[in-house]
Chain A
């Protein structure tokens, strides 16, 4: 187990990113990808440096907004995102068993099981604080955090993120953020500076602006950005939102997409299907998304992770915490919509399916995720009702290949496109028409 633990340590991740960066810096590679890797390297190095320098390190959930902590000088470690990233690179599956062996739910989300295993074996750097959110992103994540907090026995603070987006919810979350500040100040002796937070939030407006412009370009036929590279938006923001390097990344990604759009080029040579992707991706094998592009000319133009994050702040209000709360609920990460009535989310997808001229729809049913799997029927029925597009539910697991193998996943997708193409061939011709 020692060797496996070594592979999962931050030092190994840094090495992995450094090697990746060398490849990405070669001529002909996209600049955005190198910036992404540089940003991840900075983030992980900061985690290690914080431990070495005795600065406070906070473990946070994937929806715990990092800006407030970063602005106060607290290093953040989004350990759930980190674990997913490492599992996606093909290492660490054994830690899922370790998590189960410790008594954590065997039906929980696979990366959460691995997180528990990694904490039990002391692979994560020991946190000074644990800041978590409930009921979002999901029960499995929240319970994993309870177990991790119990293992490390470190000061823990829970932030309630309501599922609503109304003014009462904004007011409540603003108060909740004040409690976060009080907790961090008490635990670390660091102080909150509203002007510092404002800087992060102003940067956030620029980040979101580039993000929205890039998403807009995905409307182009052919589309200029697939789901896999688009997902990088989400990962980078979880741990570094508000930093100038994230602006650089978003700016570069937008420029690359714009260049393609201006030339009338798409992300693949021949776009045959414009796909709506919902659910949680097979992170352990994102190559499946590349395969769909190559095999069926299917490019995801609307996807679950991006469709949630619409709109932007006009300005930062006098009390930056109020803007911050508004941003969390209504703009980014805006996952609160998951924890409430999913019919609203489904209507949003149905509308986007038509607007982005989709002709196909896949729902990745990640077996460990009750939150998303539970609305697959509501989602797929609504998409069908609103845009006439039938969906396929693809059974799989986000990080555990033993649930559904690569070939089993591909076979489900293959069958869907074969049926779809046969129907399209027999009943209509032309992109965007309804089967």
Chain B
């Protein structure tokens, strides 16, 4: 791993200290959970948005508040809130994304003392009617932020935020473009670390680091795993690079993904010319869709496009136990991949990496299937 990638990983690991420092400097730190939350609005209001994720390990406090069929990702996020690990938090924002996140919001609202909380009503379709509604919803969100934090979110500051966040997206797309090469200079696990850091660090700093990384990678040879099968990872929230590392250590290379910690976070840009709130509503509603959006065939089409452009040979479809969205829609995606002749390995996992031995065995068997 290059030192440049290590730096991203290190900062991500050190995120609570960094966020505390930002808070000490007087900036409001706002945690968000789902990639449908328009970060630009928060940034334009002088706030620092960051993605709340868990940290693996025991979730004894959260277990007391969330039933056993609530996924371990949500459980782990809740543990951070209940353990008071986020004292710098001025706000908690999410959408009605899935059954689990809705209930995370409920429990957070009642049992964690966060000054500002918001559940954005996110439509599940992308029709013009839904777009109008979502725009109204995020305009109300903006006005609520202005009132609550006594800030002004102007058209100018929104345009600046959109430009800055688009720059991040463009740089990440450049990074992904490098992975289309037959010998990508960066592994999937490393990319995961780079992307995750972008959800925590301030965007100007992150963009500078990304530019340096891209300049460095352009002259680098392919990573060792580049000889193995080219893979795509699809499915539930996956913020830890460890899972991808296990996949790659068995001899494959992850070249792209359909993850909310990957393409679903940054793939689509916000239109910079139009009215900012309208542009934000359109981008967030029509971005690379999560399984919660309908109909699933629209998402399938986007996945198929990625498979073709990244020359993917096999798909690892992972879902966190109890994730009805990703585990439920699997037959639709599987049937669509069959049309392309791309084999798929379905794995159920917990939020924190576990049962590594079993995972390795299944991945090796999948590679054998790909080679046959």
Contacts and interface: CB of A to CB of B under 8 A. Distances in A.
A32 to B, nearest CB: 34
B96 A139 contact: no
A373 B123 contact: no
Contacts of A365: 67
A172 B325 contact: no
B182 interface: no
A375 interface: yes
B329 A374 contact: no
Interface in A82-139: 102-109, 112, 116, 132, 134-135, 138-139
Given A158-B295, A340-B96, A343-B110, A164 B121 contact: yes
B121 A105 contact: no
B332 A150 contact: yes
B83 to A, nearest CB: 17
Interface stretch (B101-109, B201-209, B214-222): B101-109
Contacts of B136: 168, 172
Contact of A371 (B99, B123, B127, B346): B99
Given A135-B96, A142-B124, A160 B130 contact: yes
Nearest to B70: A374
A223 to B, nearest CB: 29
B102 A374 contact: yes
Contact of A146 (B65, B98, B296): B296
Contacts, number: 173
A56 B294 CA distance: 23
Contact of B129 (A112, A172, A341, A342): A172
Contacts of B123: 160, 162, 172
B324 interface: yes
B294 A381 contact: no
Contact of B106 (A102, A134, A159, A378): A378
Contacts of B109: 341, 343
Given A134-B124, A179-B129, A374-B70, A341 B119 contact: yes
B267 interface: no
Contacts of A164: 121
Contact of A142 (B105, B107, B294): B294
Given A104-B328, A104-B331, A134-B125, A146 B102 contact: no
B124 A140 contact: no
Given A139-B98, A147-B328, A371-B102, A377 B129 contact: no
B330 interface: yes
Contact of B294 (A146, A171, A172, A342): A146
Nearest to A149: B295
Nearest to B300: A150
B19 to A, nearest CB: 26
Interface in A171-189: 171-172, 175-176, 178-179
Contacts of A375: 103, 106
B106 A373 contact: no
Nearest to B74: A374
Interface string B158-187: 000000000000000000000000000000
A414 to B, nearest CB: 22
Given A135-B292, A162-B133, A377-B64, 7 more contacts: A104-B330, A132-B294, A138-B324, A147-B328, A156-B295, A369-B69, A371-B103
Interface of B: 64-67, 69-71, 96, 98-100, 102-103, 105-107, 109-110, 119, 121, 123-125, 127, 129-130, 132-133, 136-137, 140, 291-292, 294-297, 319, 321-325, 327-332, 334-335, 346
12 contacts: A103-B330, A135-B124, A143-B325, A147-B329, A149-B295, A162-B123, A171-B133, A178-B129, A340-B96, A340-B121, A374-B99, A374-B103
